[in-house]
């Protein structure tokens, strides 16, 4: 049989660890560490993205373009149609011609803090995400959607950057 003193110390250690959640961290041995320095506040003003009511007219319509994969090889063709079925709402239809043909439709989300439009799809054989922001070319004034498309299938993952131009 194990030494009774060692056995008791092990039980006492377990008791302290299990009750430390209820008693707070005071019962655990003190650990000295250096505090993490707090970063200095940024002096650059942050700009909030447009509210969805301003974005809806900018993004509704048909967009087409292609993607470039991480290895800089040509990706696939992508068509995205964005509609606004009700005030403050966006829906999207994706038609992706690449290693796989993927089509899905659903709600498109807009993050007013980051200006990102996102659309997700989840099924037993496919997990997909489109994430983009509206970028306006300063020389021509032409808007484009810049972002990424990613998906995961039983065959493996796919990820590419996208650049879509409005077609209608």
Task: Summarize pLDDT for 51-97 with one digit per residue, the tens.
Answer: 999 999 999 999 999 877 776 666 678 899 999 999 999 999 999 88
d(CA 136, CA 145) in angstroms, rounded, equals: 9
On whether the CB atoms of residues 162 and 147 are closer than 8 A, the answer is yes
Task: Check whether residue 57 and residue 20 sit in a common domain.
Answer: no
Average pLDDT on 95-121 reads 91
Task: Check whether residue 95 and residue 132 sit in a common domain.
Answer: yes
Q: Region of 45 please: left (phi>0), alpha (psi -120 to 50) or beta.
A: beta
pLDDT, residue 165, reads: 94
Q: Decide if pLDDT at 25 tops 70.
A: no
- 110 found inside a domain: yes
Average pLDDT on 115-128 reads 93
| Domain containing residue 66: CATH number | 2.40.128.20
Task: Check whether residue 99 and residue 128 sit in a common domain.
Answer: yes
Task: Check whether residue 81 and residue 128 sit in a common domain.
Answer: yes
Closest CA to 121 of 94, 155, 101, 160: 94
Task: Check whether residue 83 and residue 123 sit in a common domain.
Answer: yes
Share of the chain above pLDDT 90, in %: 44
Closest CA to 50 of 132, 113, 130: 113
Task: Check whether residue 13 and residue 64 sit in a common domain.
Answer: no
- 58 found inside a domain: yes
d(CA 130, CA 146) in angstroms, rounded, equals: 10
- The range of the structural domain enclosing residue 162 comes to 52-166
Average pLDDT on 98-119 reads 91
Task: Check whether residue 122 and residue 86 sit in a common domain.
Answer: yes
Task: Check whether residue 98 and residue 127 sit in a common domain.
Answer: yes
DSSP-assigned letter for residue 72: S
- 41 found inside a domain: no
- 161 found inside a domain: yes
Task: Check whether residue 90 and residue 126 sit in a common domain.
Answer: yes
- 141 found inside a domain: yes
* 3-class DSSP state of 59: helix
- 39 found inside a domain: no
How far does the chain reach from its first CA to its final CA, in angstroms?
Answer: 82
Closest CA to 131 of 141, 142, 121: 121
Overall number of domains in the chain: 2
Compute how many other C-beta atoms are within 10 angstroms of the C-beta atom of residue 83.
Answer: 16
Task: Check whether residue 75 and residue 119 sit in a common domain.
Answer: yes
Going by pLDDT thresholds of 50, 70 and 90, the confidence category of residue 5 is low
């Amino acid at each position: 049989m194990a030494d009774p003193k060692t056995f008791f110390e092990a039980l006492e250690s377990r008791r302290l660890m299990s009750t430390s959640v209820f008693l707070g961290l005071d019962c655990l041995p003190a650990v000295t560490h250096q505090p993490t320095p707090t970063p200095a506040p940024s002096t650059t003003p942050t700009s909030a993205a447009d509210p969805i009511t301003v974005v809806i007219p900018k993004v509704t319509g048909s967009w087409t373009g292609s993607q470039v994969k991480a290895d800089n090889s040509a990706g696939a063709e992508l068509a995205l149609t964005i509609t606004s079925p009700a005030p403050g709402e966006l829906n999207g239809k994706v038609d992706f011609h690449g290693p796989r043909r993927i089509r899905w439709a659903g709600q498109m989300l807009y993050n007013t803090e980051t200006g990102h439009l996102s659309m997700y799809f989840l099924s037993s054989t496919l997990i997909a995400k489109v994430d983009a922001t509206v970028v306006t070319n300063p020389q021509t004034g032409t808007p484009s959607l810049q972002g990424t498309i990613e998906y995961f299938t039983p065959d493996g993952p796919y990820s590419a950057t996208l650049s879509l131009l409005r077609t209608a």
